[in-house]
A and B are shown apart, each in its own frame.
Chain A
Amino acid sequence: MVWLNAIVQGVLLGGLYALFAAGLSLIFGVMRLVNIAHGDFIVLGSYLALVVVQTLGLNPLMSALIVVPLMAVFGYVLQRVLLNPTLGKDLLAPLLVTFGLSIIIQNGLLTIFTADSRRVMAGAIETASVSIGGLSLGVLPLAMFATAIAVILGLDFIFTRTSLGRAFRATSEDAEIAKLMALDNRHIYAMAMALSAAIVGLAGIFLAVRTNFDPSTGPMRLIFGFEAVIIGGLGSLWGTLAGGVVLGVAQTLGAAIDPGYQVLAGHLVFFLILILRPRGLFPRMDG
């Protein structure tokens, strides 16, 4: 029962990691950009949620109405001003610019909010649970998992059914030809980053409610998201969910053995997959 419980909790935790991973995977798919500051964006989202909840007294989950649009605008502007000029030449420029951003966000948050560990209180929903077959499942983790599925369904819809999605796929396939077809790449890229940042906002809210966070916790979120992407297979949306679940289960099983092994177990499974199936569990596009 202990093991079954660990596995189920791990699957639900995987929903959060899938949210971390989806935004990362999206912008890589569209513009081959890896955002080193992705984890710091998530923590930025958590702090935004904290401020919104504290000043407006909103329910944390309702704070999404404000946090998500704010993050999207932040992502759009950031892409147009800082990241678009770095694209195309080599991988070093976007990598180092986002690395610089990561340091700026971390230390900016440190200046404003100090190094104290924070948490957003969500009231009764935090401890609410339903019991299924002798297992007690938290309502919050279930909501987290459902959100992850909804986000991936939504992304799937955008990519396959909308003109924006067609533009994403076209620029991803061949940016030059897309430009000839009168698509404005700079705008398309910025829209992709806005979408990614919106998902990051959601992830940030859940992170803030689920656990403690401080300005230095961003990089570890980046690593978890990245591991989920690679485990699931580059460029596959449902793969990111699978990757998140595998990572989540590895971590909860590791923690069930010894709390010190939680994160390490996740890393080891990541390396194992990289050795055995270097293209991930659900490979789709060519990198």
Chain B
Amino acid sequence: MKPGYTIERATRASRIAGLLSLVVVAALIAAPWWAGRANMRLLGEVYAFLALASLWNLLAGFTGLVSVGQQAFVGLGGYALFAASIFYGVPPLLAVVLSGFVGALVALPLAPILFRLQGAYFAIGTWVAAEVFRLTFAQVSALGGGSGTSLPARIVTDIASTRDAREMIVYWSALALGLGTVAVIYVVLRSRAGLALTAIRDSEIASESLGVNIARTKLVLYVVTAALTTMTGALIFLQKLRISPDAAFSVNDWTAYVIFMVVIGGIGTIEGPIVGTLIFFLLRETLSDLGTIYLMLLGAVAILVMLKAPKGLWGLFSAATGVTLFPLRRRVVSTDAR
């Protein structure tokens, strides 16, 4: 009998997870009917951070572009939304989508300058860029200058006339963005480009010798990540309805927490940021009364994880059980064995 082989990409766990996640997504879509107003707001925040964490992970975990300046794009998104809707009367939800283009347009010329810095210096360079954005928007008096501004009521009622309907629409948009981001990343990573990305993750030199165009891959990824981060930022400030330079370009809120999520969950996997986001919010909802102690704890946990389990909690779990929910690997399976 002739031996036969086939390439398999799904695992049993991933098929079960696929079915289960359908149920979870259905439940989340229905949240306006079973969750209270406060919980819906919390969930909206979770989705935004899920998107930010997944995007930061895509950048740092796969191409080694560690950015400490993603708040540049979060804030840019917020201000793009406010500027487009206040000055040009663009409907807010359309403005969220358009802000993605703004993010890409800004990232495209910025990337070649920042790419001149290597490694950790790149990280601080991105931070300086974010500071330039913050200080620049603080000078724009039409958007409230340093003290910021609120989204006018006429624009808010433009989304939907009643408060319930408005919150439902914003909730669903956040859900779509959060899950959509994870889905896009999953599809990209399983594609040809994703194979190049995982190759760069494992060894930059080896992948280059096999014909991966590293410079172009990094540029494209940086711009795409910037665009999606900007859209997430726009949505975050659509939920908040108020913006100020310090809040919009906060390194703690939009980058430090996000890095902790990814590191604690597990960098370089799709599951890691999801697990990390859930753990972060679990900790926050239970321990945030501790204030500064809680933040010190968070820093200590991140250091501990980095030193003792660099692949994060999901990495530990996955190594122990062999379970992957979003398999990126291709495995050769003998068809005879069936």
Contacts and interface: CB of A to CB of B under 8 A. Distances in A.
A96 B259 CA distance: 8
A103 B121 contact: no
A100 B64 contact: no
A34 B64 contact: no
B43 interface: no
Interface residues of B, number: 41
A189 B73 CA distance: 36
A105 B286 CA distance: 23
A70 interface: no
Contacts of A104: 296, 299-300, 303
B148 to A, nearest CB: 15
Q: Specify which of B60, B119, B292, B307 lies most central, judged by the most chain A CB atoms within 10 Å of its CB.
A: B292
Nearest to B267: A92
B306 interface: yes
A174 interface: no
B124 A34 contact: yes
Given A92-B267, A93-B310, A271-B132, A99 B127 contact: no
Interface string B43-60: 000000000000000001
Interface stretch (A48-56, A126-134, A261-269): A261-269
Given A104-B296, A107-B299, A275-B113, A223 B120 contact: no
Contacts of B263: 96
A95 B299 contact: no
Contacts of A33: 120
Interface in A66-111: 82, 85-86, 89-97, 99-104, 106-108, 110-111
Nearest to A264: B135
B136 interface: yes
A113 to B, nearest CB: 11
Contacts of A92: 60, 64, 66, 267, 306
B64 A91 contact: yes
B117 A274 contact: yes
A91 B135 contact: no
B121 A223 contact: no
Interface string B292-332: 11011011101100110010000000000000000000000
B251 A100 contact: no
Contacts of B306: 86, 92-93, 96-97, 100
Nearest to B300: A104
Given A100-B306, A103-B298, A107-B295, A263 B68 contact: no
Interface string B270-308: 000000000000000000000011011011101100110
Nearest to A108: B296
Interface string B253-268: 0001001000100010
B116 interface: yes
A287 interface: yes
A82 B263 CA distance: 17
A36 B131 contact: no
B139 interface: yes
Given A34-B124, A274-B116, A103 B307 contact: no
A282 interface: no
B128 interface: yes
B307 A85 contact: yes
B21 to A, nearest CB: 29
28 contacts: A32-B119, A34-B120, A34-B121, A36-B123, A36-B124, A85-B307, A91-B120, A92-B267, A95-B66, A97-B303, A102-B299, A103-B302, A104-B296, A104-B299, A106-B295, A107-B292, A107-B293, A111-B292, A219-B251, A222-B124, A223-B127, A230-B117, A260-B139, A263-B135, A267-B132, A271-B128, A275-B113, A278-B116
List 3 A-B pairs, minimum CB-CB distance, nearest first: A34-B120, A103-B299, A100-B303
Interface of A: 32-34, 36, 82, 85-86, 89-97, 99-104, 106-108, 110-111, 219, 222-223, 226-227, 230, 234, 260, 263-264, 267-268, 270-271, 274-275, 278, 287
Given A264-B135, A267-B131, 8 more contacts: A32-B119, A89-B310, A103-B298, A103-B299, A107-B292, A230-B121, A278-B116, A287-B118
